C-alpha cells in the first residue's frame, strides 16, 4: 500500500499502537519487531482486541481476504515514512533538540513556554528514538502550530537519520557532554554526532538556537548565518542573567524575574533556551515567565522531596560524567548543615569507564561532603576514601541498619541503577 493511501486511513483512524496490551478501538496496529519479539505474531490478537488495521511485513500472518491486515515491505520503515508524510501534510513548525544532558527538561520548558501562546505538542517523556520520533510526529493534529521533537542518539548518523524523518525547521543542542562515549567513539565523536542537527538545518539556512557562552557551540557556528544565541555577559546576544541558585534557579531577563522550580546552574541554561525560543516566537515576556515558573520536574529528574527529616534531591533518571560533575558541584554550593551523596554507576562509557568513574570518585572526595557513598561494579573498583557498594543489594543492607536525620541528600545514577529504590529505605 502506498504511503498516501495509508495516510488517508490514518486520518480516519488516527490512533497508533505498537503494543497489543494497549489496543484501543479502531486504532492502527504496527507490528514492530524487537530483539525478543516479532509483532507480526500479535497482529491477529490486535484485530480481535479492537484494532481497525494491522500493518505487518510477514505474509504468513495475512488473515485470508481480510482487508484489515495490510502487508508492507518493512513495518518500521513504513511507520517512519508515514510520520514524515504526515509531518509535511500540515503546516506545523517543528523544533528539534538534542544534546548530551538536559534534553527532556529543556523540551518540557520550551513546550511550557510556547504552549502559553500556541497549540503545541511535544515528545512524551524521553521517547526520542527511531520509533519515538515518528510516533510524536503522528500526534500532530490539524490545529497543531508547533511540535517540539526531542532526539536521542548513541552513535554517529542517528541524529541525521531522525532529521530526515522529522525535517525540523528549527534546532537546539543543549550541550556536548561525556555521554554514550562507547557508541560515539569518544568525546569528539559526541560533538560530531550531536552536531548533525545543526548541519542538517544549516544546509537550508534554517534558524539555529545556541548557547553563546558554550565555547564548542560558538566555535562550530561561526560560519552559520541564521543563528540566535543567548549569553550571560556578551551583549551581541540576547542577555539572560542568573540571579541565584539556592536551591532553585532564579533568572533575570528584560524586566522579568523568574523563580523556577529547578535546581542547579545547569538548569539555568535549559531555562535560557526556553526563553530565547519563546522570544523568537514572539511570546510575551510575561508569558515566558509563566511558562517557566509553572513547570515542575518529575520522573526522577532533579526532584526535591522531603522524607522524614531529610531533604532529598532525586536525580536518578540518568547520569554521565558531565552531568554527574555538574550535579556534584552544584550540590556542594547549596547551604545545608549536613550533606550526603549517593552515586550510582554511569553506563555506556566503554573503555573510558574506569577512568571516568575514578575521576568522579576523586571529585566527590575532594568536595568534602559529610558522607558519600558509591554504588555499582564500576564505582566499586575505584580508589578513594569513600565507602563503596558493589550492588544495590549491598547498599540496601547497609541502609536497613543505618538511619539519617536532618540531612540534605543527593541521589544520582544511570537509569539502570534505579536508585529511586532508595526512597523506601531512607
What is the rounded distance in angstroms from the CA atom of residue 364 to the CA atom of residue 374? Answer: 10
> Could you identify the residue written with the cell 500479535?
42
Whole-prediction pTM value?
0.86
| CATH number assigned to the domain with residue range 90-293, chosen from the 4 options 3.40.50.261, 3.40.109.10, 3.40.1190.10, 1.10.420.10 | 3.40.1190.10
Cβ distance 189 to 154 under 8 Å? no
Tell me which CATH homologous superfamily contains domain 3-73.
MurE/MurF, N-terminal domain (3.40.1390.10)
| CATH number assigned to the domain with residue range 303-424, chosen from the 4 options 3.90.190.20, 3.40.1440.10, 3.40.47.40, 3.40.50.300 | 3.90.190.20
- Cα dihedral 400→401→407→411 (10° resolution): -40
| SS3 at position 314 | strand
* Domains 3-73 and 303-424 equal at CATH topology level: no
Here the cell at position 112 is 511550557
Per-position pLDDT tens, the chain of length 426: 899 999 999 999 999 999 989 999 999 999 999 888 899 999 999 999 999 999 999 999 886 667 899 999 999 999 999 999 999 999 899 999 999 888 999 999 999 999 999 999 999 877 999 999 999 999 999 999 999 999 998 889 999 999 999 999 999 999 988 778 888 888 888 889 999 999 999 999 999 999 999 999 888 887 888 999 999 999 999 999 999 987 899 999 999 999 999 988 889 999 999 999 999 999 999 999 999 999 998 776 778 888 889 999 998 888 889 889 989 998 998 888 899 999 999 998 989 999 999 999 999 999 999 999 999 999 999 999 999 999 999 999 999 999 889 999 999 999 899 999 999 888
Domain boundaries, the chain: 3-73, 90-293, 303-424
Cα end-to-end span (Å), the chain:
56
Amino acid at each position: 500500500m502506498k504511503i498516501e493511501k495509508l495516510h488517508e486511513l490514518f486520518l480516519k483512524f488516527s490512533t497508533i499502537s505498537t503494543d497489543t496490551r494497549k489496543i484501543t478501538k479502531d486504532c492502527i496496529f504496527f507490528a514492530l519487531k524487537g530483539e525478543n519479539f516479532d509483532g507480526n505474531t500479535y497482529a491477529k490478537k490486535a484485530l480481535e482486541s479492537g484494532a481497525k488495521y494491522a500493518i505487518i511485513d510477514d505474509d504468513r500472518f495475512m488473515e485470508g481476504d481480510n482487508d484489515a491486515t495490510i502487508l508492507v515491505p518493512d513495518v518500521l520503515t513504513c511507520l517512519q515514512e508515514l510520520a514524515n508524510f504526515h509531518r509535511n501534510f500540515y503546516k506545523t513548525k517543528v523544533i528539534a533538540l538534542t544534546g548530551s544532558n538536559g534534553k527532556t527538561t529543556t523540551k518540557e520548558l520550551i513546550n511550557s513556554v510556547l504552549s502559553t501562546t500556541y497549540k503545541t505538542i511535544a515528545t512524551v517523556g524521553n521517547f526520542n528514538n527511531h520509533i519515538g520520533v515518528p510516533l510524536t510526529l503522528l500526534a500532530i493534529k490539524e490545529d497543531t502550530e508547533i511540535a517540539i521533537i526531542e532526539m536521542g542518539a548513541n552513535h554517529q548518523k542517528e541524529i541525521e537519520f531522525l532529521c530526515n524523518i522529522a525535517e525540523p525547521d528549527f534546532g537546539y543542542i543543549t550541550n556536548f557532554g561525556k555521554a554514550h562515549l562507547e557508541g560515539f567513539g569518544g568525546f569528539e565523536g559526541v560533538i560530531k554526532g550531536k552536531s548533525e542537527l545543526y548541519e542538517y538545518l544549516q544546509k537550508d539556512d534554517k534558524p539555529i538556537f545556541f548557547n553563546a557562552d558554550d565555547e564548542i557551540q560558538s566555535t562550530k557556528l561561526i560560519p552559520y548565518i541564521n543563528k540566535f544565541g543567548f549569553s550571560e555577559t556578551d551583549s551581541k546576544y540576547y542577555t539572560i542573567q542568573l540571579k541565584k541558585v539556592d536551591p532553585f534557579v532564579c533568572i533575570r531577563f528584560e524586566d522579568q524575574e523568574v523563580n523556577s522550580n529547578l535546581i542547579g546552574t545547569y538548569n539555568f541554561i535549559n531555562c535560557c533556551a526556553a526563553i530565547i525560543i519563546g522570544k523568537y516566537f514572539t511570546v510575551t515576556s510575561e508569558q515566558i515567565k509563566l511558562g517557566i515558573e509553572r513547570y515542575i520536574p518529575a520522573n526522577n529528574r532533579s526532584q526535591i522531596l522531603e522524607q522524614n527529616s531529610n531533604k532529598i534531591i532525586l536525580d536518578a533518571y540518568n547520569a554521565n560524567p558531565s552531568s554527574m560533575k555538574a550535579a556534584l558541584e552544584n550540590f556542594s554550593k547549596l547551604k545545608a548543615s549536613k550533606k550526603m551523596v549517593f552515586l550510582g554507576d554511569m553506563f555506556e562509557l566503554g573503555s573510558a569507564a574506569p577512568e571516568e568513574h575514578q575521576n568522579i570518585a576523586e571529585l566527590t572526595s575532594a568536595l568534602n561532603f559529610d558522607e558519600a557513598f558509591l554504588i555499582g561494579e564500576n564505582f566499586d573498583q575505584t580508589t578513594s576514601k569513600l565507602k563503596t557498594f558493589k550492588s544495590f543489594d549491598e547498599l540496601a543492607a547497609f541502609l536497613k541498619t543505618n538511619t539519617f536525620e536532618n540531612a540534605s541528600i543527593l541521589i544520582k545514577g544511570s537509569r539502570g541503577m534505579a536508585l529511586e529504590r532508595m526512597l523506601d529505605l531512607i
